[in-house]
Structures are given as C-alpha cells and as structure tokens.
C-alpha cells in the first residue's frame, strides 16, 4: 500500500513538473477572445494619478468588471525599476535635478512608497489576483537614453548604474563606434537582466512579458559575437552585408538562449509557488528576426504562452497576421494583434514642460484610436485567426468593451 501511495505521489509530481514545461495560452475573461493591456508603470506616477498603495490597487480593481484578462505592469524605465530591488536601483536614484516636473514627481513617489514599505509590483499583482485577472511583469528590453539627447537629465534619471559603469557592454557599429543600448551579446548584460526578472518572479505575478519593441537594437558588432562568428565561418562579419543570414542566425541564437533562461527562472519560481508562470513577448512583425527574435524557435520549443505581433511605430498600422497564426498553430502559444493606441504626437519634452508651467503653451495633445476603430480593427484581426488583442497605451474601458464586442461577433450562431 505504501509503495502504491508513493508511486501515486511520484506520478502526481511528474505530471505537475510536466505541466510547467508546456506552453499554455491564457484563458479569455468576460470575452470570447483574449484581451491584454499594458501599463507602463510610469505615466500614472508622472501625471500624479498613482500616489498611494490604494491608487495602485485601483489600477487592477477598475478592470474587475471588464473583459481584460491580463494586466502587464511594466517594471522598467530606461534600465532602472519601479519596485524595491537589489539588482536594479529605483528610477531617479541619486537625482535631485529633473528636466520635467513629472519626472521629479515620479522619483519622489517611488522613493516615498519604498520608504513606507510599499512594493509597487507586489501591490499591483496582489490586486490583480483579487480582481480575478492575471498580472505579468513587463520588461522593456533596452530602454536606455542617449547621453547626447535633447534632455541631458534623462540618462542620469533612467539609465541604471550598470549602464553607466560599463560602456564596454554597449552595442558597436561595424567601425567599432559605441551606441547607446546594452548588447545582449555579453553574458554580463544577460545576467544583469535576468537578476532583475528573477526578483520580479518572487512577487505574486502570473508571468513575465518581454517587450522587444522597447527599444532595439539588442546587438551590434560586439566582440563576443564577432569572435564566435569568425570561429564558425572564418570571416569577419563587419565586412559582410548586415543581412547576411549567418549573422542574423547567430544573434537570434544568443537571444533564444536568453529567452530559455527566462523560461527556466519562471519554472524554478513556479515550482516553489506550485503553479505555472507564463512567458509572453511583443515583437515587430517586420524586423523581429533581424533584431534577434527567432519566433519560430520560441514556438517550436514551447517557450511562450502568448505573443503580441505589432509594429514599432505610432498606432493605426495594419499588416497580415495570418502567417503568424499559421506559424503558431499547435504550439500552445496564443497570437495577439498588438495595437498601439497613440496615433499622433510625442512625449512631453523638458522645454515644452517649462512652457506649459509658465502658461505659455497648452499641454500637447496626442491622437488616439477610438472605440469604434478598435471594434472594426479587431473584427479584421479575429477574422484572420487572432486569439486576442494586446492594447498598448490604452486604458479606456470603452476600448476594452469594443474589442470584446468584435470578439463576440466572431462566434458562429447556434443552429
């Protein structure tokens, strides 16, 4: 009898461990299709809407009666974070001067919440669970600002200490000139990013979202890649066309290794929580492979539970989603059309903010997709087989309902 019980326990353990390895598309909620929204974890603080722990809980609670199934809560601005972390410092760490009033408010609010013992990510994640929705911690993969930009305060506020301490890890062009972004070609960069995500996975999140639209590039002609290419092919990639398939394949190989490591840390955290943690991504439909994102490999290995296919521009774009739907068939990964809500305008600059503060100009306006546009557009995506829609920079419940209405219309009538 004891042997029988032991065998049953072993079988149950094996089944659970196996379930951790299988991609599992999230289930729609109050809708026939999956609806995911992304909160950048910054704008609400910048605008003064998020000041307290209760404000953060309200972010999730406002979604309780909507068709939204997943809230992606961004944990990275630049390469700093918005929750207490040992791996990465808070946005604005060590800063006393700011280009925009909102930046100062963000930094002061992050500091105060941390001092009060409020973990912003844990607070949002717990509120999501209470509201019956999933919370994915979203990482902007490479958001650092250039030192030569229009606002010199931005790199000091947003770029992490690791970025400032290691210029040797930044991408380089074919002539060896350094750029702004950190290169994933370096093991140290990948380890630094993974340490941040590993801390996020300790919170009560349901998964991690890797946002490859914010912001490429992820590789240059960096020494580890150049050396590996020369060893394999006996040629210097800096003398070859940028689209040489061997060069593209090598970069994709490195990034796929990184995605595997994220999946592994989620499996490790999931075992401790006795549940599976999801992994998702957002990629550009045109440039994804050239940027190092080998979607075919990710799907083949079952690394992702959903992926948003989007475009690295302002919203209103259109493209054929059907090839991606076909690519993902049988993989266990949901394919979402990635909508960018903002269609015109730009982020407020420091110079504009000073004019607004002095009453010399009105705050700049930005164009936005309307609920009617969402309804019509979503109907087209669902007709091509999309499993859902991913909404970026959109927080209007009317937009969520419009997408759900389009999803309902795709269900065949009962005979």
144-203 pLDDT, tens per residue? 999 987 788 999 999 999 999 999 999 999 999 999 999 999 999 999 999 999 999 999
Query: Does the residue 311 lie in any domain?
Result: yes
pLDDT, mean of residues 203-225: 98
Cis peptide before 146 (omega within 30 of 0): no
Residue 14 lies inside a defined structural domain of this protein: no
The domain of 395 spans 35-409
Do 92 and 103 touch, CB atoms closer than 8 A?
Answer: yes
Average pLDDT over residues 231-240: 98
108 has a pLDDT exceeding 60: yes
C-alpha distance across the termini of the chain, in Å: 52
Give pLDDT tens digits for 342-401: 999 999 999 999 999 999 999 999 999 999 999 999 999 999 999 999 999 999 999 999
- The count of structural domains within the chain is 1
Supply the pLDDT for residue 410.
75
3-state secondary structure 234-297: CCCHHHCCCCCHHHHHHHHHHHHHHHHHHHHHHHHHHHHHCCCCEEEEEEECCCCCCCCCCHHH
What band does 16 get if pLDDT is binned at 50, 70 and 90? very low
Output the pLDDT for position 413.
Answer: 46
Q: Contact 364/352 with Cβ under 8 angstroms?
A: yes
- What is the residue whose two structure tokens read 């840390």? 265
CATH number (domain holding residue 149):
3.20.20.80
Higher pLDDT residue, 72 or 152? 72
Band (pLDDT 50/70/90 cuts) for residue 10 is very low
Count Cβ atoms below 10 Å from residue 58 Cβ, excluding itself.
Answer: 15
Alpha-carbon distances, residue 310 vs 209, 333, 335, 396 (angstroms): 14, 16, 11, 20
**CA-to-CA distance for 37 and 394, rounded, in angstroms?**
7
Look at residue 5 and tell me if it is in a domain. no
Q: What is the pLDDT at residue 14?
A: 43
Q: With beta carbons less than 8 A apart as the criterion, state whether 26 and 308 touch.
A: no
In a domain, 20, yes or no: no
State the pLDDT at residue 412: 57
287-318 pLDDT, tens digit each: 999 999 999 999 999 999 999 999 999 999 99
Give domain status of residue 22, yes or no.
no
**Contact assessment for residue 353 and residue 324, using Cβ atoms and an 8 Å cutoff:** no
Q: For residues 98-102, give the mean pLDDT.
A: 95
The pLDDT of residue 359 is: 96
pLDDT averaged over the chain?
Answer: 94
Give the pLDDT confidence score for residue 152 in this predicted structure.
Answer: 86
| Interatomic CA distance for residues 45 and 68, integer angstroms | 22
pLDDT tops 90 at residue 12: no
Question: Domain for residue 299, yes or no?
Answer: yes
In a domain, residue 24? The reply is no
The pLDDT > 70 percentage for the chain reads 93
H or E stretch at 47:
none
Query: Does residue 415 lie in a domain region?
Result: no
pLDDT at residue number 111: 97
């Amino acid at each position: 009898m004891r042997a029988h019980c032991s065998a049953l326990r072993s079988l149950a353990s094996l089944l659970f461990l196996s379930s951790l390895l299988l991609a599992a598309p999230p289930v729609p909620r109050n809708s026939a299709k999956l609806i995911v929204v992304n909160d950048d974890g910054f704008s609400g603080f910048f605008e003064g809407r998020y000041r307290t722990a209760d404000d953060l809980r309200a972010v999730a609670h406002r979604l309780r009666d909507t068709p939204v199934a997943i809230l992606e809560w961004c944990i990275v601005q630049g390469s700093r974070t918005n929750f207490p972390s040992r791996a990465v410092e808070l946005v604005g760490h060590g800063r006393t001067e700011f280009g925009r009033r909102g930046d100062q408010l963000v930094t002061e609010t992050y500091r105060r919440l941390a001092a009060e013992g409020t973990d912003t990510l844990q607070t949002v994640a717990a509120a999501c669970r209470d509201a019956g929705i999933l919370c994915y911690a979203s990482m902007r993969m490479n958001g650092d600002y250039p030192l030569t930009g229009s606002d010199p305060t931005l790199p000091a506020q947003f770029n992490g200490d690791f970025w400032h301490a290691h210029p040797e890890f930044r991408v380089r062009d074919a002539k060896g000139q350094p750029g702004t972004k950190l290169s994933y070609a370096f093991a140290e960069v990948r380890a630094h990013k993974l340490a941040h995500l590993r801390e996020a996975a300790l919170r009560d999140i349901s998964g991690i979202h890797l946002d490859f639209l914010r912001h490429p590039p992820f590789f240059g002609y960096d020494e580890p890649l150049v050396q590996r290419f020369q060893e394999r092919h006996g040629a210097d990639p800096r003398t070859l066309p940028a689209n040489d398939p061997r060069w593209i394949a090598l970069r994709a190989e490195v990034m796929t290794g990184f995605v595997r490591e994220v999946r592994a840390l989620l499996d490790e955290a999931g075992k401790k929580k006795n549940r599976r943690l999801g992994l998702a991504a957002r990629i550009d439909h045109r440039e994804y492979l050239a940027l190092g994102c080998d979607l075919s490999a990710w799907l083949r290995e079952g690394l992702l539970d959903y992926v948003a296919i989007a475009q690295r521009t302002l919203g209103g774009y259109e493209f054929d989603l059907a090839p991606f739907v076909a690519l993902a068939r049988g993989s266990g990964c949901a394919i979402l059309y990635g909508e960018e809500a903002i269609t015109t305008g730009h982020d407020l600059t420091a110079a504009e903010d000073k004019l607004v503060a002095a009453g010399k100009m009105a705050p700049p306006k930005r164009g936005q997709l309307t609920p009617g546009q969402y309804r019509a557009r979503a109907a087209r995506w669902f007709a091509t087989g999309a499993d859902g829609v991913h909404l970026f920079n959109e927080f209007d419940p009317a937009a969520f309902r419009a997408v759900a209405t389009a999803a309902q219309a795709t269900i065949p009538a009962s005979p």
